[in-house]
Structure 1
């Protein structure tokens, strides 16, 4: 891959990662509930889904999904339902500390990884996006595997850095609200509403 093309990929990938979405909300929620360091597990789960999306597109399956209204609709509503479920669970979750105490949640790394993966995986529009995005940086007259590896590594590294050092770090500013049960309850409801809102957008905006 030419260096100038890679720089274009770097810029596009950075802009995409900074665009708020379900992944950003999930990352901030994890950082608030489990801490900045442990939020990396949810971010890694999101990257696992990203790798799967890239593989789907690279193998040509993405074209079939994008061209099949039934498959696209089924995955779209499944993803929306999952986000709504996460939102309701977050909204209804009880504070994890007593009044006046301060603590972080004890959700397992695997649980955060799995949730992060499903948040990104159940988003058919990501497949459609990569169908439009990846070809811009792939040259058919050059070995394809190496190009896809470069694209995947670049996009994943960018997304990890943005998610962890921007969205998860931003959540630190809300930590003062988690020092009591009332603050936790407010944040749980805010993030619950955000999850439901993103799920609604995924379901109803075409």
Structure 2
């Protein structure tokens, strides 16, 4: 992979990692409820799902899904339903409930699984990995080496962005002692998840 191509890839996913979307909202809500350390568990799940997406992009399956109307529609509907469920649980949470400790958090396997499920069904991921990422592969170079470079790059940028959001949310936890602020934030975060996923689903409409 040429250096210029890698730098372009780095810029794309660095910006993507810092752009609020369903993955960011999941990590932030987990951090606010259980602390930044616990929020990194679903973040690792999200990054693990990215490896699946990169593998699909490298083999051409993600591009096929993005160009097949029936497959694309099924992916979008499944993703929107899953994200809508996550948004509903976030928006309807009790804002007066005090912050729980990390020991009271759901099992790590559950948080990790939610991260994987969210990212595999995330229309944003379909945009990045199905429509944009395949263009960064060079047919004149070994695909496996390029995929390995992309995996390291995407994982590093994703985890950096999610870690920043996790600690930022943890730092502002004192604001959530105000139930009105907590209710407003939860509903705004839920709406942001839905809008982001809906916008991405619109972008992936087959031509």
TM-score by length of 2: 0.84
Q: 1:36 to 1:146 in 2, by over 3 A?
A: same
Q: CA RMSD in A?
A: 2.4
- The answer to whether the Cα contact below 8 Å between 1:103 and 1:179 also exists between their aligned partners in 2 is no
67 and 116 in structure 1: CA distance in 2 versus 1, 3 angstrom threshold: same
Report the CA distance between 1:4 and its aligned residue. 4.0
Cα offset for 1:199?
Answer: 4.3
Check the 8 A contact 2:57/2:134 in 1, yes or no. no
Partner residue of 1:122?
A: 121
Distance 1:45 1:26 in 2: 11
The CA deviation string for residues 56-102 of structure 1, in whole angstroms up to 9 with x for no partner, is 1112212321221111011101111111111111122225745xxx5
Aligned twin of 1:157: 156
SS at match of 2:105: coil
Are the structure 2 counterparts of residues 201 and 143 from structure 1 closer, same or farther at C-alpha, using a change threshold of 3 Å?
closer
- Please list, as runs of the form range in 1=range in 2, the aligned pairs for 1:34-45 lying within 5 A after superposition: 34-45=34-45
Alignment of 1:5-84 (within 5 A): 5-84=5-84
Q: Does 1:195 align with 2:193?
A: yes
Q: Superposition pairs for residues 125-144 of structure 1, below 5 Å? A: 126-144=125-143
1:27–1:163 CA contact under 8 A, matched in 2: yes
Rounded to whole Å, the distance in 2 between the matches of 1:198 and 1:12 is: 17
CA distance in 2, matches of 1:202, 1:181: 32
Verify the 8 A CA contact 1:17 1:159 in the aligned structure 2.
yes
- Partner Cα separation in structure 1 for residue 110 and residue 158 of structure 2: 20
| Equivalences, count | 202
Long gaps (5+) in structure 1 = none
Distance in 2 separating the partners of 1:60 and 1:18 = 27
Unaligned stretches of 5+ residues in structure 2: none
